[in-house]
Structure 1
Amino acid sequence: MKPLPVETLEPILQRFGVVFAVFARVEGQVLLQWGDPAPIPVLDENAFVGATRDMARVYRSLDRMLLPQMDVQGEHLGIRSKVGEKVVYALFFETRRFESASPVERLRTEYSFCKSLSNAVDTVLQGWLAAR
């Protein structure tokens, strides 16, 4: 099996400020881990407080509309997506970049960022899957 195109993915992950990324087959076999998972806390809904808990609730309520799926994990936001029913990935980055005047504006900014990031990664992975 041809390895994932790290040389193409890495500049995208760096440009978007991704801290940690995992790419795997749908069956669970990890294809690539990139970055450092240490700063990413294990998801614990009981640790959510105030606005963070509200934001997590908003993301979950929008789950059916949002591709990719987004989760707040401490100071980090994670997005998960599936490409071509073959590869799944999770990307984590700091949320501090999204300071804004209102929660609605912040959600809009985060969603736009996540959509751009996932589109860039999806394009690389779709090319990789097509070449296999």
Structure 2
Amino acid sequence: MMAQQDDEAHAKGIMMRDERYKYISRTLGGDELYDLEADPGETTNRVQDPALMPVLSRMRLDMLKWLQATDDVVPFDYDQRFTPEMLWARVRRMVPAGKEDEVRQMIADNVSFPVLMNYCRTLSE
């Protein structure tokens, strides 16, 4: 039951690798970078390692180029499948009573779902 309420567990993510490194990017939660040669079990996330910043930058750029070349076109219109009531149901447990009006206004203003979720997370920390 807890996994169903863990938004990071269900967030969209993408992974790429080369001969030595594996990079994982997610819409929610932190990115990950593994040195598969030194750590084949992927137990040490090295995304913050200054020595690997050139590798991380290269892999992020390669991922962006691949996404631009292969990803679907993003529609210009707001996706109305997610009603304000549906969005509120997703975030209400994270919103303290004093912030309810503010979050409902964000929903009414069509703030994107990832931005809304990230903001609500900061309220519950």
- Structure 1 or 2, whichever has the larger Rg, is 2
The structure richer in helix per residue is 2
Query: TM-score, normalised to structure 2's length?
Result: 0.29
Per the normalisation by structure 1, the TM-score is 0.28
